[in-house]
Homo-oligomer: A and B are copies of this chain.
Amino acid sequence: MVFGVAARMGGMLLPSRLAERITYADGALCAVLDEALVCHVGVVVDGEPHVLPTMHCRVEDRLYLHASTASRMGLAARSAPMRVCVTVSILDGLVLARSAFHHSLNYRSVVIHADAALVRDDEEKARVLAAFVERAGAGRSDQCRGPNARELAATAVLAVPLTGDGVDTAVKARTGPPVDDEADLALPHWAGVVPVQLVAAAPRPDGDGPVPSGLAPTLAHLDRPAPRDAS
């Protein structure tokens, strides 16, 4: 039906439909995780589904999440590994077909089912937290004050393995133009793709000093004049 992506993405929930869209490739998986800045974490609490948007950070074959140690997620992870479904999706375009039914979305997505475990090793925790800051820009972790003991203690870092026993990952994508029924091709309706992209605008400084280069490197940048105090 309209925006047939739902039918296709329905297969993402449990990969039963349109299996030909499912690819398993570490490179593709990492590329989606590294481009997206936000993931959606699903957990079950008292039998109810909960979905939390949060930032993630991949280091090698682990995806990391972080939370306040006093948050429910931080507390829950203390006792035992927590079963999670982490879903990352990047919207690439609106697909307008000649029929309502074949309207769709272009996207790339990753779904990970795994056990998230609290990171108890201080060195790993420090490395991961630096990697989180680096997502804002290469070198950023050296361009700000690092965490002190109080801040470290207030932060829970959770590791989600991307490989191994009990881990399921799926990468999916739709790309390209609309796919219309043969009989609809002669219809006079406009068809095509409207590409969409998450882009960064000129930074808004809070204070003085030159704007660091390489901010938000995973984003495209709007071609706008930089603020006057930019370097």
Whether the pair B7, A71 counts as a contact (CB closer than 8 A) is yes
Interface of A is mostly: mixed
A228 within 8 A of B: no
The smallest beta-carbon distance between A188 and chain B, in angstroms, is 7
Which residues A177-199 have CB closer than 8 A to chain B? 177-178, 184-185, 187-199
Whether the pair A196, B195 counts as a contact (CB closer than 8 A) is no
Q: Which residues of B contact A3 (CB under 8 A)?
A: 55, 66, 132-133, 135-136
Whether the pair B50, A85 counts as a contact (CB closer than 8 A) is yes
Which residues A32-89 have CB closer than 8 A to chain B? 37-38, 40-45, 47-55, 65-68, 70-74, 83-87, 89
CA A212 to CA B84, docked complex, whole Å: 43
* A interface residues (Cβ-Cβ under 8 A, vs B): 1-3, 5-7, 9-14, 16-17, 37-38, 40-45, 47-55, 65-68, 70-74, 83-87, 89, 91, 94, 96-101, 103, 105, 107, 109, 111, 113, 129-130, 132-133, 135-137, 140-141, 143-148, 151-152, 154-155, 157, 177-178, 184-185, 187-207, 209-212, 215-216, 219, 222-223
